[in-house]
Amino acid sequence: MYLLRRQAQKPSPEDDSAQKDAKVKELRAALGPLSGRNLKYCTDACLRRYLEARSWNLDKAKKMVEETLRWRATYKPEETRWHEIAHEGETGKVSRANFHDRLGRTVLIMRPAMQNTNSPEGNIRHLVYLIENGILNLPEGQEQMSWLVDFSGFSLNTNVSVKTARDIIYILQNHYPERLAVAFLYNPPRIFQAFWKAVKYFLDPKTFQKVKFVYPKGKESVELMKTFFDVENLPSEFGGQATLKYDHEEFSRMMAEDDVKTAKFWGFDEKPCRIKNGLSGAEVVPEPLPIAPIAS
């Protein structure tokens, strides 16, 4: 009888969906009137992600959205253009893959050994730009992306600092909630363990669950990779059959084209920039903005 009562009390998928839709409306009402970019940003799907990230607690989700809107007003990620951070991408340390995962999600490839600058601000802005670009290129009906981290040639000398990693984690978790589907750390060397011990405490439990360590000799982890990716598309660096080749000039051309799409999406009147040697010749270069302070 107790089991029957428990089953009767459990809401149906339709009821659960209706309750969540109602929560989204409550959150929108709690935020008050929105305009301009804030209105463009706060779609129902966006508000749903914030509620999901805060376990559907309305007050916590509201605070989280408001913090993001303040951050976006200062950091202006939608205004960053490729020519401003192209030098950070010369080695292909972070790039958008030319393939998707099995669910059609955007894939970002990260190669820590290809680190080419020691600017924390530059590294963060470069990654934020590519997260925004990855979102721009999500297929209809998809809201998340997959990350592949290649540790070939990794050394502590080429790795970002713990503080930079902490800042990146903060931005990802607090301003891009529920955008990460999974992050595969492929074949990290033993020396990475100390760095991981230092940064894993900054991850909230939901994000922590999305980080997967994959080792070529580990049968279970290799099989897990195959459930997310077609081996024909997957580069050999991740145990697949494809070749990973980063062409900075070609990638820069693609990003400059996407900058036009970004401007159109956000309602900017912007002309395409000429590309030369992987850099674009924009007429106006906005001043770089400082990173918003990280809450302890």
Band (pLDDT 50/70/90 cuts) for residue 296 is: very low
Closest CA to 276 of 86, 116, 28: 86
pLDDT of residue 269: 66
- Return the CATH number at 32: 1.10.8
User: 94-98, 139-143, 239-243, 271-275: lowest mean pLDDT where?
Assistant: 271-275
Q: Which domain holds residue 240?
A: 81-246
Q: Is 281 a domain residue? A: no
- Return the CATH number at 95: 3.40.525.10
pLDDT of residue 292: 40
DSSP label of 211:
E
Band (pLDDT 50/70/90 cuts) for residue 291 is: very low
Residues 155 and 31 in one domain: no
Query: How many Cβ atoms are within 10 Å of 257's Cβ, its own excluded?
Result: 14
Closest CA to 87 of 292, 220, 280: 280
User: What contacts 186, CB < 8 A, 6 or more positions away?
Assistant: 148, 149, 150, 151, 214, 237, 238, 239
Residues 40 and 124 in one domain: no
For the stretch 35-58, pLDDT in tens is: 999 999 999 999 999 999 999 999
pLDDT of residue 270: 54
Q: Is 128 a domain residue? A: yes
Question: Is the Cα torsion angle 122, 276, 135, 26 positive or negative in sign?
Answer: positive
DSSP label of 116:
-
Q: Is 209 a domain residue? A: yes
Q: Is 34 a domain residue? A: yes
Residues 85 and 222 in one domain: yes
Helix (H) / strand (E) containing 96: strand 94-96
Residues 181 and 112 in one domain: yes
Residues 148 and 164 in one domain: yes
Residues 176 and 60 in one domain: no
Question: For residue 55, is it left (φ>0), alpha (ψ between -120 and 50) or beta?
Answer: left
Q: What is the pTM for the complete model shown? A: 0.85
Average pLDDT, the chain: 87
Residues 135 and 229 in one domain: yes
pLDDT at 28 over 80: yes
- The stretch 259-280 carries a mean pLDDT of 68
Tell me how far CA of residue 81 lies from CA of 46, 55, 115, 132, 287, in angstroms: 23, 34, 20, 11, 11
Tell me how far CA of residue 108 lies from CA of 58, 113, 163, 261, in angstroms: 31, 16, 22, 19
Size of the chain in residues: 296
Residues 49 and 133 in one domain: no
To which residue do tokens 């060397």 refer?
A: 189
Residues 237 and 120 in one domain: yes
HSE (side-chain half, CA atoms, 13 Å) at 176: 22
DSSP label of 100:
-
Of 202, 230, 246, at which residue does a domain stop?
A: 246
Tell me how many domains the chain contains.
2
User: What contacts 163, CB < 8 A, 6 or more positions away?
Assistant: 120
Q: Is 5 a domain residue? A: no
pLDDT at 294 over 80: no
- Residue with the bigger pLDDT between 290 and 192: it is 192
User: What contacts 293, CB < 8 A, 6 or more positions away?
Assistant: none
Q: Is 33 a domain residue? A: yes
User: What contacts 168, CB < 8 A, 6 or more positions away?
Assistant: 123, 124, 127, 160
pLDDT of residue 148: 97
Residues 56 and 122 in one domain: no
HSE (side-chain half, CA atoms, 13 Å) at 162: 11
Q: Is 267 a domain residue? A: no
pLDDT of residue 289: 40
pLDDT at 215 over 70: yes
Q: Tell me the three state secondary structure of residue 147.
A: strand
Residues 178 and 37 in one domain: no
Band (pLDDT 50/70/90 cuts) for residue 280 is: very low
Residues 126 and 171 in one domain: yes
Q: Is 282 a domain residue? A: no
